[in-house]
Chains A and B, each alone.
Chain A
């Protein structure tokens, strides 16, 4: 098919427009995953290890937020960052920063909910031993996060998958501005609607290749780590 050939050509020749789009997508999604992990892992661990009134409700809400619709998040962030919104003075609507914020909001609940489950399961297994060893609360949390690290890598991958694949939030708060806020997913949507199938297919291939490559890398690291630590 001619479109496929053109798409491959774009990839193989390192088309600058395509590379810029790929680069921005990776920066936005990876930044969002890092920020979401900094929020979600400690929060998930906290919910896993503490008992307070309404905890069950927090767990249910956290799990439900994993299914947060990207367009709704996009809309809320848009309203907050628009000139008349509460954070309008930041002036970052239609910038990559706004896209990072929207994706962080989408990914943080996924990381928090999955971390909560992982840490809670491991705590059920470790509780007696750590209590008998007289381990204090801070070391306890650190131990559980460290020992759950291989499962938490999968959690981060789930978050990255969500960020890299979503289009609804970034298109609303980023605006899909050529050369500035255009990501792989928004470009695919746009190019397809314009009928520029080679670029759309090329970007689709790159997107899938990146997701597969990152997962393969994480898998290899996990297997190597598990061989060492069990």
Chain B
């Protein structure tokens, strides 16, 4: 996994996108561009639409209105995209078996499997864990294995849904280190968090969501120093956004 030429999956462009579930609007007319570069971090209170945004950007949810393009194209299969869900499901195999499954699913040539397996396990700090049963690993280890599995697909863009939720500080730090390592390899990271400290530590850009709308998008430094909107000011000051 080296630095690559820009993939056809970037930029990801939301044009007036709404997502609904029955009568409820979860994402409300979002227009946004996700381009190659440093990590984009989605912040916002629970229920603001962060998870739905990530799933929609991955292509798992079809918008009720508007359109999404990946590298200028609609309806592209998620070949160069990968996602790590908030509670990733471990396949009933060894850690290495989980990564090999992802390699096969991504149609990576078999000759490359061994090298890539070793590479992604090392990248997430799970060298020597290959033969462990994935479902018997700790929460932090499973989260790192899910990252390895996603990276095995050789993605151009990686979506992470609250990757450190419910992890202790040590496990959180190890995940954040992996995220930095991933970003430094030229993979576009788009992640959600409700932890402002984490957003400060990792974000290149911030997207603040509230009630399914994009309230503010800005480079992280600008966002935290001088938020433009009242909601952003409240949120960064630690006040409740209801």
Contacts and interface: CB of A to CB of B under 8 A. Distances in A.
Interface residues of B, number: 25
A226 B92 CA distance: 9
Contacts, number: 54
Given A131-B60, A132-B83, A147 B105 contact: no
A133 B106 contact: yes
Interface string B77-97: 111001101001111111001
A227 interface: yes
A230 B105 contact: no
Contact of B134 (A125, A143, A230): A230
B81 to A, nearest CB: 8
Nearest to A225: B92
Nearest to A136: B105
Interface residues of A, number: 20
Given A126-B89, A229-B97, A133 B60 contact: no
B105 A128 contact: no
B60 A230 contact: no
Contact of B89 (A129, A148, A226): A129
Interface string A116-160: 000000000110111111110001000100011010000000000
Given A134-B79, A229-B93, A230-B135, A129 B88 contact: yes
Interface in B70-116: 77-79, 82-83, 85, 88-94, 97, 101-102, 105-106
Interface in A179-223: none
A20 B23 CA distance: 68
A230 B90 contact: yes
